[in-house]
Structure 1
């Protein structure tokens, strides 16, 4: 009896000591030298393979305490593949908590308002190495997948205007198709059903509204001014006047892969249907990505008699002066050109 009691007490002591060792090991901070390096846990890794990986990388000192903990709790399946930054020092339980998040190393992609699909292609190619070998043309080809917007603009020839300007975070290995799809989905979140109803009230198609919004986007940086810019566009359309928006010449140069940062005389004389110096009416489609502010301006333009505008030389906010007559406009343009000459000296 004494021997059995001794064995029982000894067993209890061993269990207590072992439990204390497990508890202490799981909660003891461990220092490593990989705190600034991403540790990749591949897809399909088993719990055992993950623990071996963490041990070999020096993130944990031994896989045994976590292996026992996972066996007891049955939480091994909660660990996910991903790319992780582990603080140093860090406890095994904190490591396990990180592994349950499934973190992926991401790349921030910022698409400013007014970017064209050519600008977007260049930025995607520059920031995602998997696109660099194929080049910008391969990305541009994907922006011609109009199936993504057939419910909104079935007559569109490409996705220009429908890739929403925003800051996105994508996994490093993301496909270009996924990037473009996400930007279009973001646009669809902004394009509300009532916007289509309003377009119908204006006797315009959504594609025409987005085209007008893109013209507004490229002409003004100020939200409060955009409805007035839109009013000029509508007033010119009603009068049968060319819109005369020089940013369409920039777009033509980008389409023809010859944009050098300067609008040349030849750009303004182009016979392209996008040349609003020559054509009457809207260009065939949008010339840039559009913000919701510009969409709203196109849907709800201000009520004015303005048909001209010139950059306001008296302010630094890039605002414009608006005119109803050619004579007023010529005076305003002369003042602007005088100011421009002084600026260039």
Structure 2
């Protein structure tokens, strides 16, 4: 009997000791050297595989305490796949809580207003170098599929103008098709159904409105000024005057893979239908991404008789001076060129 009592007491003490060890282990921070690294937990990993991975990386010192805890609490299947950063030191329970909440590592894709599809393709490749198929040309090929916008602009040859400028958060493993789809979805949030009706009242297609919006986008950085810039475009179209927007020359150079950061005389002499110095009317399509402000300006231009504008060098706030006569425009242009010459010295 004494031996049995001793055995019982020994077992009880052992259970208490073991329970204390488990409790203590779960609450004791473990130091490791992976605090600045991401630990990837693959989809489909079992709880045992996840714990083995964490132990191998040194995030936890022992698998046993967490195995027991998850068995008792039934939380083993709550751990999620993802890419995690674990502070050092960190307790096993804190590790488990992170895994239960889930953490998907994301990459920011910043698409500024006025970016062309060529700029966007370059940025996608830069931010997501692991995407397949690789390379800017492959991304541009995907942009040439207009199925995402066919209901809005059946005549569009690419997604140019329909990839909304914004800051996006994408999973690191996202594919390019999903990126383009998301940007077009953002455009659709801005393009209201009544805008198509407004375009029809202007005797324009939706695609032509977006084309005008892209011209406005590249010409003016000020929201309040854009309806006035729009009025110049419409006035020139009515008069049969070339629009003379130099950013179309930049677009041509980018299309032909020869843009070097400077508008050359050869760019302005190009026979491309996008050359608004030579060709009367609108270019075949948009030349950049467009903001809500530029779309509204294209749909609701100001009522003016202006047909010229020049950067306002006196204010130096990116605004423009507007003119209705060639003589006034030439004086304004001369002042601008004189200022530009000083700036270049």
Q: Same fold (TM over 0.5)?
A: yes
Q: Tell me the C-alpha RMSD between the 2 structures.
A: 2.1
8 Å contact 1:125–1:132 — kept in the other structure? no
8 Å contact 1:311–1:336 — kept in the other structure? yes
Partner residue in 2 for 1:231:
231
Partner residue in 2 for 1:263:
263
User: What is the number of equivalent residue pairs in this alignment?
Assistant: 345
Partner residue in 2 for 1:148:
148
The CA deviation at 1:85 is 0.4
Partner residue in 2 for 1:116:
116
CA distance in 1, matches of 2:227, 2:61: 64
Partner residue in 1 for 2:249:
249
Partner residue in 1 for 2:216:
216
Partner residue in 2 for 1:202:
202
Structure 2 counterparts to residues 83-232 of structure 1, below 5 A: 83-131=83-131, 134-232=134-232
The CA deviation at 1:160 is 0.4
8 Å contact 2:211–2:285 — kept in the other structure? yes
SS across alignment from 1:168: strand
8 Å contact 2:131–2:173 — kept in the other structure? no
The CA deviation at 1:10 is 6.3
User: What CA deviation, in whole Å up to 9, does each residue of 1:62-83 have, x standing for no partner?
Assistant: 1111111111222222111111
Partner residue in 2 for 1:38:
38
CA distance in 1, matches of 2:244, 2:56: 66
CA distance in 2, matches of 1:143, 1:223: 28
SS across alignment from 1:100: helix
Consecutive unaligned residues of structure 1, counting only runs of 5 or more, are none
Runs of 4+ in structure 1 displaced over 6 angstroms? Answer: 1-10
SS across alignment from 2:224: coil
The CA deviation at 1:198 is 2.5
CA distance in 1, matches of 2:44, 2:113: 40
* Structure 1 stretch displaced more, 172-181 or 136-145: 172-181
* TM-score scaled by length of structure 2: 0.93
The CA deviation at 1:172 is 2.5
SS across alignment from 1:26: helix
The yes-or-no answer on 1:67 pairing with 2:67 is: yes
User: What CA deviation, in whole Å up to 9, does each residue of 1:118-163 have, x standing for no partner?
Assistant: 1111122222222598322111111111011112111100010111
CA distance in 1, matches of 2:208, 2:64: 65
8 Å contact 2:132–2:175 — kept in the other structure? no
* TM-score scaled by length of structure 1: 0.93
The CA deviation at 1:203 is 2.7
